């Protein structure tokens, strides 16, 4: 089955610790995205990557870092500099532009910082 996987589903960390969220896709998509979702708000873009070895900051990149060493993988690190990291994190990918910018989403990781 083609799709996007995120792990773990739930993650607990102590304040001040860095944590890395995994995102893997086997859809052969070039573009990948990380979003943060908070209650009562829409999704906000953290980082995105349109090609391997390249990525760009989104709207709320402070306190986060990413890498894109492989096409299939786009891990997100939540650093201790992120002031309010508790949230639901969603990864997405997108294929060819002729698909009219449809993004495919993973199941999400709920991060709770204690």
Residues that bind another protein (CB under 8 A): 4, 6, 9, 31, 40-45, 48, 50, 58, 88, 90, 92, 94, 97, 100-108, 110
CB of 107 to another protein, least distance (A): 5
Residue (18 or 107) nearer to another protein, CB: 107
Shortest separation between residue 27's beta carbon and another protein, angstroms: 13
In the bound complex, what is the minimum distance in angstroms from residue 16's beta carbon to another protein?
26
Query: What distance, in Å, lies between the first and last C-alpha atoms of the chain?
Result: 35
Q: How far is CA 90 from CA 1, 11, 42, 46, 47, in A?
A: 19, 13, 12, 10, 11
Pick 15 or 102: Cβ nearer another protein: 102
Q: Which residue lies nearer to another protein by CB, 75 or 108?
A: 108
β-partners of residue 66 are 76
Q: In this structure, how many other beta carbons lie within 10 angstroms of the beta carbon of residue 41? A: 9
Rounded to whole angstroms, how far apart are CA atoms 27 and 12? 29
């Amino acid at each position: 089955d083609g799709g996007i996987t995120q792990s773990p589903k739930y993650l607990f960390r102590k304040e001040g610790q860095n944590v890395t969220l995994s995102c893997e896709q086997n859809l052969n998509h070039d573009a990948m995205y990380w979003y943060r979702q908070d209650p009562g708000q829409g999704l906000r873009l953290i980082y995105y990557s349109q090609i391997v070895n390249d990525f760009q900051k989104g709207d709320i990149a402070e306190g986060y870092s990413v890498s894109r060493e492989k096409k299939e993988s786009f891990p997100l690190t939540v650093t201790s500099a992120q002031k309010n990291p508790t949230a639901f994190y969603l990864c997405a990918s997108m294929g060819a532009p002729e698909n009219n910018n449809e993004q495919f989403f993973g199941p999400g990781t709920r991060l709770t910082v204690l």
